A and B are shown apart, each in its own frame.
Chain A
């Protein structure tokens, strides 16, 4: 019994273990006799492969925890790749920089103001934390409002100057990273606002964004320019290559982004009130609302972060594949959702977490790696993905213990029950026949 419970609690990691075992056992060997699958190069390569999906899945996890869904991440990422590639390769004002500079200015300005206000109100409270005192402080936010606003304004001016100064000479790596993510975040914010203030269903709002972000991306890229190539050495700065290199020869840079996101947001979910509220809202919106949680604020933040992470993923995509294209993220949203679900996060919200998503993303990555090593058709991969989704979710949702208990029970009943007593439970067959037809007319 205890063993079963332990098995059930750690089931998340068993799938991963099984995949690794299969990979190790089926892997081909190099001429020198070492296992290719288990080699450091192969494993880090898997990490690199999953990083883009992984980043998107990280944002998706938070949205799904809240009981929502974000279908737009693929298109938003595609949009970010276009912005990123254009800023890297084109001088002067064009569609990307015209959108990018003001939006980045506003986003960074607002972000700085909000963060400053958060810190100030935290400082103001720090001496009298505890029950009883809180209300008076919370009631007078105006006192500490003007300093954060000023800081935000200063930041906005600085960002405007900094980004605008890069326009004539092409953007640097930090520039594209900031501008692309800010634009993606803005799209996420639109999602959130539609859902929170417009009361649209998340599915609908983000579906609309999925379609329109693709349109915006195509318009930005221009019709003849559906793919914006980024050639090494010719039109991209040297530093941008960094985003696809190995960090100190240990980890691929994209996977560093991915791991950092998992750890950072994992910690946020675990240790901050925001995380607690996310679970509470996903678990029971009504009860959360009545508990005085600012539901709208938390929801908006989640969609915003989902957009932000899709934007960062877009920049990594450009670095990885040396091009930006509007349809770069087609289907990505479904991969991300699948990884989240495999990781045990409930689509109903309120249950799950980033550890699961990490495992879910890895399972997918390792699976396609194994199949590639075996030279198996990529269409088989799709089939396998589908099977894995179904199998893991069956195990996750049904609760392994229950499944086994039910199976055992049905066996004992079939074997043990006396057929005579089973029959006698029912009425004489004549009466039974009546029930079948007559129940309606009996009414009279």
Chain B
């Protein structure tokens, strides 16, 4: 058995060394519909998630699926991928009716999904993950590691990425993990690949690699359903776009027929006024100053310096943006200031003119600092608790007397925040897990605003949030700055960085490589400082 299949593989190699030979060898013409879904409806516990949605996917196209959170994108994708087995309507794959009872069914039919939250086992190797549950065996019992590693190697090679198939997944960057997921889908010979927000956690250069691969896959005949919150990206990548709103299809059109604005208004259902920074209220008082911040972290290869002497100053009412690629030390700066760094910290931090010894969030909180972490679900929220409990949590010590909780005051505080931030919910008793991403983010911000901070550290405040909510968060950040808070924002999204920041600190590989004023900052200047290899440039040339 083994020799036979190995022989086969050699033959196919000689035939087409470069082309990703996926299924659909019948040579279907381009433009032929590989998947069509008609009048798909689905409700969860009485709530209509999808209402009679039609969708079709052609051979070799990248079909973007757009919509705000809660519009039904995920539900539709999950139905197509066999995750949800009960729905109304019909799905046809290659003209035959399909009724997937599970993901395995769909995979057999050539439909694979890559979820936003990656489904990899961190402690296993890349090859192990790719073939998880389908491991090649010797004599039906023993794991054939060699063959598995070789096959994984070939898959990764074809994707054009240099990942060692024997390395542990936990040691890979998120972008690389994403590629492992794609390799896994390819190993399933997927002809239809569903990608749910693949770029939400990727840096700009990782995104480029991913786009290249997606385009190549499409050329090779894979039909791709693609969702993203980044409209620029979709305009660049997709052939057609379908916009969903409130569970209904608004429009399906070739990408050339829709402008950026048209897509947004189709998604939101109204025109969005772009928010802008109002007049900055700055009296020049420095609320936070960081001198020569260093951080040493313990990695797999011993101690490593993650931050090399970062210095920054934050004034009252100022928004300081921190730009840079993923892993350049942006998050580490915020964590070090807040006292939750993972490793040894050096340097000094001065808050309101006094040297601060911040050893834990408790100290940071007393000094009036607040950190909204990038990982909203893991580190920001108690998902299974109510909105009210979440908002009140950091403040209940201050609200209570003799350790007795003041329920009325807690509720009043939470209600006030929910109103102030316009969190869309049924009430403060609603479970945080049931909110959309944007509203969850508002709750996390609200939880910190309730402590009346003077310095707000925001790490990726709009990750995974839809367009409408993004604008609201921007407006909120501007308002808070206008009220005199000093704000530091870390973000991977260039337009957001340029829109929000008064000044931009650019990081590259743990070093601060540039400090740009708002008027000097463009995507190019920021990228020039952020790209590795440029670190030798003098500090702050453009400031």
Contact = CB atoms under 8 A, between A and B. Distances in A.
Contacts of B109: 425-427
B115 interface: no
Given A122-B402, A437-B5, A444-B154, A292 B365 contact: yes
B379 A287 contact: yes
B100 interface: yes
B81 interface: no
Interface string A336-350: 000000000000001
Interface stretch (A17-25, A127-135, A210-218, A237-245): A127-135
A274 B402 CA distance: 11
B41 interface: no
Contact of A284 (B5, B131, B382, B400): B382
B394 A291 contact: yes
Given A135-B366, A138-B366, A273-B403, A129 B5 contact: no
B231 interface: no
B471 interface: no
A284 B447 CA distance: 15
A68 B437 CA distance: 30
Contacts of A413: 85-86, 101
Contacts of A440: 5, 9, 131, 134, 136, 147-148, 151, 187
Interface string B46-83: 00000000000000000000000000000000000000
A432 B108 contact: yes
A443 B108 contact: no
Interface string A277-299: 00110011011111111100000
Contact of B381 (A276, A287, A431): A287
B452 interface: yes
A439 interface: yes
B346 interface: no
Interface stretch (A38-46, A174-182, A386-394, A416-424): A416-424
A379 interface: no
A443 B399 contact: no
A125 B188 CA distance: 64
Interface string B371-408: 10100001111111100010001111111111111000
A408 to B, nearest CB: 11
A417 B99 contact: yes
A272 interface: yes
A307 B396 CA distance: 28
B99 A280 contact: no
Contact of A131 (B131, B380, B450): B450
B182 to A, nearest CB: 13
A271 interface: yes
Contacts of B10: 444
A191 B396 CA distance: 28
B425 interface: no
B8 A441 contact: yes
Contacts of A432: 108
A139 interface: yes
A444 B150 CA distance: 10
A442 interface: yes
Given A273-B403, A441-B8, A443-B186, A427 B110 contact: yes
B109 to A, nearest CB: 6
Contact of A438 (B8, B155, B405): B8
A435 interface: yes
B401 A286 contact: no
A276 B395 CA distance: 12
A132 B383 CA distance: 27
A119 interface: yes
B27 to A, nearest CB: 15
A122 B401 contact: yes
Contact of A289 (B21, B361, B397): B361
B362 interface: yes
Interface in B111-150: 131, 134, 136, 147-148
A312 to B, nearest CB: 22
Nearest to B10: A444
B361 A292 contact: yes
A130 B399 contact: yes
Contacts of B96: 424-425
Contact of A441 (B101, B151, B389, B398): B151
Contacts of A130: 398-399
Interface of B: 1, 5-6, 8-10, 12-13, 21, 23, 85-86, 93, 96-101, 105, 108-110, 131, 134, 136, 147-148, 151-152, 154-155, 158, 186-189, 338, 340, 360-362, 364-368, 371, 373, 378-385, 389, 393-405, 413, 447, 450-452
Closest 4 pairs (CB-CB, A-B): A441-B9, A292-B365, A134-B398, A425-B98
25 contacts: A122-B403, A134-B397, A272-B404, A272-B405, A280-B393, A284-B382, A287-B382, A290-B361, A292-B394, A350-B382, A351-B384, A425-B96, A425-B101, A425-B109, A431-B23, A438-B8, A440-B131, A441-B5, A441-B6, A442-B9, A442-B189, A443-B9, A443-B187, A444-B151, A444-B154
